[in-house]
Amino acid sequence: MHNQTENKTPKLDTILSHIGINHDEATGALISPIHFSTTYQHPEFGQSTGYDYTRTKNPTRTNLEEALASIESGQFAIATSSGMSAIVLALDIFPVGAKIVASRDLYGGSFRWFNDQEKRGRFFFDYVVTEKDMLGAISKETDVVYIETPTNPLMIEVDIAKVAKKAHENGATVIVDNTFYTPIYQQPLTLGADIVVHSATKYLSGHNDVLAGAVIVKEAALYEQLLYNLNTTGPVLSPFDSYLVMRGLKTLSLRMQRATQNATEIVNFLRQHAAVKSVLYTGLGGMISFKVKDQSKIPTIINSLSVITFAESLGGVESLITYPTTQTHADIPQAVRASYGLTDDLLRLSIGIEDVSDLIDDLKLALAEGEKNDEV
């Protein structure tokens, strides 16, 4: 960043498009090299370039981490090997027996790990569905408030600022999983959250070709604890994967805008369709959930799609459809799922950047196939 004017902070889109450039003073390479070396030569006994061993610190990862901190309006970031390792890293700094208030409608993998921790007495969870319940559940006993907003897949939103205020009054730390909205639509640290986690596998990377995670904080004290645990246990992001995330991030803003545009049109289409019972969409981003009137038609609908791919995951340039019941949320018992509205008639779409008319035609055809069987 040596050739940028000091007195003006660039806007988010400029920061994004400039990620990782102009870092190589030795050659002037616009795009920084990928540093594969796991170890670093010391200039002299007792000296270090700042890099010693790649588990501790790697120049390519550092470039990504600076970018992640910047786009989330944080001070420090850690790039991890997956979203799950970011979540584990963030929670592992809390003491044994810590009490956590968490969104009930969580990413299935987060719920699985939370549940395992609870069984071992590592953490205790109080799950809540709405913002009102979350505010009500926070007390002096609470150590951590863990938020997904919007939730996955029910798209329930909470006001981070309101929750953070109540949490801080009670001495609790606020963690937000910002995978769905990304800093384009929501910067939790500016709203009072203490720690942001991401599955960078999703929108941040955006191309379904890299598994990655991120933890971003404002406070040095939190960062030091996270860094100590990171260096001790080693769930770091590889140099090549760090490069891929940087490459993806450059177009984050464009991809999010297009996903929102496409999703808005698809929501309008789905809301008017006779086979659709309800549509869950917040108005921002590419994630849509919808419930069908006849759940038995779900296999036919899914099998009839050809532009939209039936696959897990989300946030890529290509549209995917997921059936949470048997895929992302299969580890949550059916009764628990049903208790908070994650019913077996729900399908989840991750809308990409294709031409929206192709996506709508695809859904039209698949939903029509689903209705055909009615006459049998």
Ligand X SMILES: *Cc1c(COP(=O)(O)O)cnc(C)c1O
- Catalogue the active-site residues: 55, 107, 177, 202
Query: Could you give phi then psi for residue 156, rounded to 5 degrees?
Result: -80, 135
Cβ atoms within 10 Å of 289's Cβ, excluding its own: 21
| In the block, residue with structure tokens 């959930």 | 289
Cβ-based nearer residue to ligand X, 84 or 367: 84
| 143 or 241: CB nearest ligand X | 241
Residues that bind ligand X (CB under 6 A): 82-84, 107, 109-110, 148, 152, 177, 179, 199, 201-202, 211, 213
Q: How far is the CB of 152 from ligand X (least distance, A)?
A: 5
Nearer to ligand X among residue 151 and residue 253 (C-beta): 151
Residue keyed to tokens 């404002």 = 218
Nearer to ligand X, 166 or 202 (CB): 202
Least CB distance from residue 225 to ligand X, whole Å?
21
- Crossing angle of the two packed helices 83-91 and 220-233, in degrees rounded to 10: 120
- Give me the least distance between CB of 7 and ligand X, in Å please: 37
Structure-token pair, residue 106 = 């969580």
In the complex with ligand X, the residue whose CB is nearer, 90 or 367, is: 90
